[in-house]
Amino acid sequence: MSPPILLLVAAFIAVAVIGPILAIRELDAGSVRLVQLGTAGEDLDALVRAQLSEETGLRGYVATHDRYFLDPDGPPNPLFDEHADDLAQALRAAQLIEALPLVGEIRATHDRWESQVALPLLHDPANRDGLQKQTYGKLLTDELRASAQLLHDAISSADAKVESEQRRRINDAVGFSTAMIVVFGIAAVVLGLSRATAVRNLERERSLVDALQQTLRVGGTRLPRTEVGFAYASATAEALVGGDLLDSWRDGEDQGWFLIADASGKGIQAARHSAFVQYAIRALASESDDPGDVVARFNRLFGDTFEDPGIFVVLFLGRFDARTHHLRYASAGHSAAFIRRGMLVQQLPPTGPIIGMEPDSAYATRSVTLRVGETVLLATDGLTEARDTAGNFLGDDGVATLLASAPIDPQGICDLLVGEVERRSSGQIADDLAILAISVLAQEDGSDTGFSTMEAAPRR
């Protein structure tokens, strides 16, 4: 082979090797920016969540004068400024400098809310101008959320632009590799391997961005004269918990409430809805001992708060009196509710429609008597909609059959049901799953622990 040809071959090989290396560097740089934009989005969600948490807690405090509802970090909340600083830093790192003024607007709106609404109501919750201040506070929160939405749109737009650029770079690399294949097979192999590596790196970085999302985890207190079991399983290995919620709390020495809910949405959005459900229900339950009244009032509050018709909540709210063993409950579209009496299983039908459908919906309160040893089982639709390999749902009847022969202790029941879901799906849980089982005891056992911080069960 003549020297010119050798030089040409060497030049082609050099281009085939150097080109993919440069493409990988550009793709890696784009992947880093995607992670930075994901971090900015997470910081923005944390900022909005801090405002909503403070506002919800303040409403509960004004309604009940009970400081239990107040967030220990405020108001005033120093964490809000920390979240704002983190967000500004993340925007600079992601080269989204033009969005920084929106952070200042959010911070200024929050400062006005704390100084003109929160602090005056904390000082005097019975202020005669309290309703006017709360109305003004709602306007400020809407203003903050509008600024946050603009910032979210800017982050999403930048994210889409970077992803488009990444795809363009990958497509360019593919075209270059095709040309090299025509000339030299070895160059095609090198380029193909480089492209595959770049694509894997991009997918891995995107997975890391998704895994950064945090969700609300809640805890509960065991009700009087009961034994509690619970389970919370995530559908994803990264523990991207959705809107499933379990909660319980005492209301005096012999009474207590328990709640299971499934809010629409995913990730941070669903966690925000769950937080709203939890604190709003607790606040409303402090004013009424009628579950149907509490759920009806919550439905109206939910409709006033969320205008998106695609946002809804399915829930079951019960109030148990340990002296009379009476369970009074209201159910908003929640069908997976059962009572086991020995070997017999009774299903508790919903007493009203799903939350968020109609603002004036009525919710009946029904009452049942629970004897010692009888068990109440509640679950989100991740249980009844669990499919086997043939695509068949477990369904309400399947749950009732399993419950009839399940272990006596509540935790054993929950573990059995989660195991059945995993068995039917070959270990790949398709939907988030929350289960709560409560058995009536003859007397208190001296323990006041309930279900504490809920960790999503890993897929096996």
pTM (global) more than 0.75: no
Residues 6+ apart with CB under 8 A from 9: 1, 184
The answer on pLDDT for 181 being more than 60 is yes
Q: Which pLDDT score is estimated for 118?
A: 85
- Per residue in 366-423, pLDDT (tens digit) is 999 999 999 999 999 889 988 888 889 999 999 999 999 999 999 999 999 999 998 8
**pLDDT confidence of 51, banded at 50, 70, 90?**
confident
Are 262 and 380 contacting, i.e. CB atoms less than 8 angstroms apart?
A: yes
**pLDDT confidence of 216, banded at 50, 70, 90?**
very low
What percentage of the chain's residues is helix, strand, coil (to nearest 5)?
55, 15, 30
The answer on pLDDT for 27 being more than 70 is no
Q: Compare 101 and 72 and report the one with higher pLDDT.
A: 101
- Per residue in 128-146, pLDDT (tens digit) is 777 888 888 889 889 998 9
Q: Which pLDDT score is estimated for 205?
A: 42
- Per residue in 145-180, pLDDT (tens digit) is 899 999 999 999 988 888 888 778 777 766 666 666
The answer on pLDDT for 341 being more than 90 is yes
Place of tokens 């009087």: 224
Of all helices (H) and strands (E), which one includes residue 86?
A: helix 78-93
Of all helices (H) and strands (E), which one includes residue 453?
A: none
Both structure tokens of 6: 């050798």
Q: Average pLDDT of the chain?
A: 81
Averaged pLDDT, 57-86: 79
AA identity, residue 54? E
Distances (CA, A) of 410 to 34, 81, 200: 45, 43, 44
Strand partners, 214: none
Q: What totals of helices (H) and strands (E) does the chain contain, helices first?
A: 11, 10
